Amino acid sequence: MEYIYAALLVHSAGKTVDEESVKAVLSAAGIAVDDSRVKALVAALDGVDIEEAISKAAAAPVAVAAAGA
């Protein structure tokens, strides 16, 4: 999922999710970047409304153990 998190991070920074920005973030996290995966990610997200895609994702129900916290 790290490539997706990187894309979400770039997106939430208000930047365009392109190869350069994704690579920068992944590198900063200490991840050895796979160029072809970055390319594939950017291509897959091309034309995708990221806001809309993530807007439906609610958090999962809290487990009872956590609920007491």
Partner 1 sequence: MAIYTHHLPAWKREEVESIVENAGKHELIGLVDVYGIPARQFQQIRRNLHGSAVVKVARNTLVEHAFNELGGHFIDLNGHVSEHSALIFADGNPFKLFKSLEQTKTKRSAKAGEITPEDIVVPAGPTSFKPGPIVGELQQAGIPAAIDGGKVKIKETKTVVKAGQAINKKQADVLAKLDIKPMPVGLSLLAVVYEGEIYLPDVLGIDEEAYKAKITLAAQQVFNLAVNAAVPTSCPFVTEAQIAKAVREARNLGVEAPIYEKGVIEMIISKAYRQANALKA
35 membership: H or E segment, kind and range? helix 35-45
Q: Which of 9, 1, 17 is nearest to 49 (CA)?
A: 17
Residue type present at position 28: A
Residues 39-68 that bind partner 1 (CB under 8 A): 39-48, 50, 52-63, 66, 68
Return the one option of partner 1, a copy of itself, none that residue 20 interacts with (CB less than 5 to 8 A, by type). Answer: none
Return the one option of partner 1, a copy of itself, none that residue 17 interacts with (CB less than 5 to 8 A, by type). Answer: none
Residues 5-44 that bind a copy of itself (CB under 8 A): 5-6, 8-10, 12-15, 21, 24-31, 34-37, 39-41, 43-44
- With tokens 């897959």, the residue in question is 44
